[in-house]
Amino acid sequence: MKAEGITRINKKEIQHSFESLQDQICNTLESIDGGARFREDIWQREEGGGGKTRVMEEGNVFEKAGVNTSAVWGRLPERMAQRMEVDTGDFFAAGISLVIHPRNPMVPTVHMNLRYFDMENGDSWFGGGTDLTPYYIFEDDARHFHATLKAACDKHDAEYYPRFKKWCDEYFFIKHRGEARGVGGIFFDYLKGSNDLLSSFVIDVGEAFLPSYIPLVERRKNMPYTNAQREWQLVRRGRYVEFNLVYDRGTLFGLETKGRIESILMSLPPFVSWKYEYHPEPGSPETALLEILKNPREWVD
């Protein structure tokens, strides 16, 4: 059934918006790092479309940072159509996806994904969000990150932030561990309505990324840390990997639609550790993090 009352979005415009955001973020990250630069791979998808994968590795500040854009189209596989509860047909999808793994464990990892999806029957929607994954809790950092996202949401609808914050807490939850991936942010999917208004909202979320995250990097990048704190970072990165490979919808969609494997898996950290029966000391900063991850809290009023 064709969706009624929906203005079809200009696909080239939304693709260009994501690519402009990619340029802005990559330029800023290179400037802060002061050493490494992004390598760009422009790739084509045999079934239709392609993208730009940009990865920076072994930097002064960022151990690995990936910022990808893509615009792909073709026939939606039946298995994916069933999972998404839509009719099989031709689709168009455009988006930007980034993951930043800092070198210093006092700097949090961050993720953002924004996407537009369009079916040939006229149905279309937006999805995405951004979330923060610290290794050590600095409450001012979490409050700043959430307050910046709330301000971006409030420009469009006062109900967006509380709704999408709750959704994020529920989505980025590692069920088999009984803990959140991090301190959350916002998450939304199958967001439908006026495409003009929603595209403006999604781009504003993208524009809020740098002011939400970069101040945290600047505060923490030069803090001293120990080998034990580095090891804790690697253990927590293992949890990140578990979520991405088991639960993440974007990863599953990319694999199901025969996306570019290197681009899909660029979100994984360069170094990671799994320790058998590893438990931090009671009362330690590491245990303080786990207590928050098991009991997500409100960070702004």
Question: Residue 68 has what pLDDT?
Answer: 95
As a whole number of angstroms, the distance between CA 275 and CA 287 comes to: 16
Question: Residue 1 has what pLDDT?
Answer: 33
Is 132 within 8 Å of 113 (Cβ atoms)?
A: no
Q: Give me the torsion for CA of 207, 188, 163, 84, rounded to 10°.
A: 170
As a whole number of angstroms, the distance between CA 33 and CA 36 comes to: 7
Give the residue among 164, 144, 140, 167 at the shortest CA–CA distance from 154: 164
Question: Residue 6 has what pLDDT?
Answer: 44
Question: Residue 4 has what pLDDT?
Answer: 42
Is 259 within 8 Å of 72 (Cβ atoms)?
A: yes
Beta bridge pairs of residue 55:
39, 66
Is 69 within 8 Å of 22 (Cβ atoms)?
A: yes
**pLDDT tens across the length of the chain (301 residues):** 334 434 567 888 999 999 999 999 999 999 999 999 999 999 998 889 999 999 999 999 999 999 999 999 988 877 777 777 777 788 999 999 999 999 999 999 999 999 999 988 888 999 999 999 999 999 999 999 999 999 999 999 999 999 999 999 999 999 999 999 999 999 999 999 888 899 999 999 999 999 999 999 999 999 999 999 999 999 999 999 999 888 887 787 777 766 678 877 888 899 999 999 889 999 999 999 999 999 999 999 8
Question: Residue 63 has what pLDDT?
Answer: 97
Domains in the chain: ranges and CATH: 11-294 (3.40.1500.10)
The answer to whether residue 146 is catalytic is no
Question: Residue 3 has what pLDDT?
Answer: 40
Is 187 within 8 Å of 168 (Cβ atoms)?
A: yes
Which candidate in 101, 111, 144, 146 is catalytic?
111
Question: Residue 88 has what pLDDT?
Answer: 79
The number of beta carbons lying within 10 Å of the beta carbon of residue 27 is 11
Is 167 within 8 Å of 118 (Cβ atoms)?
A: no
Question: Residue 97 has what pLDDT?
Answer: 95
Question: Residue 264 has what pLDDT?
Answer: 79
| CB burial of residue 98 (10 Å; 0-12, 13-18, 19+) | buried
Question: Residue 256 has what pLDDT?
Answer: 75
First to last CA, the chain: 41
As a whole number of angstroms, the distance between CA 274 and CA 254 comes to: 26
As a whole number of angstroms, the distance between CA 179 and CA 291 comes to: 9
Query: What radius of gyration do the chain's Cα atoms show?
Result: 19
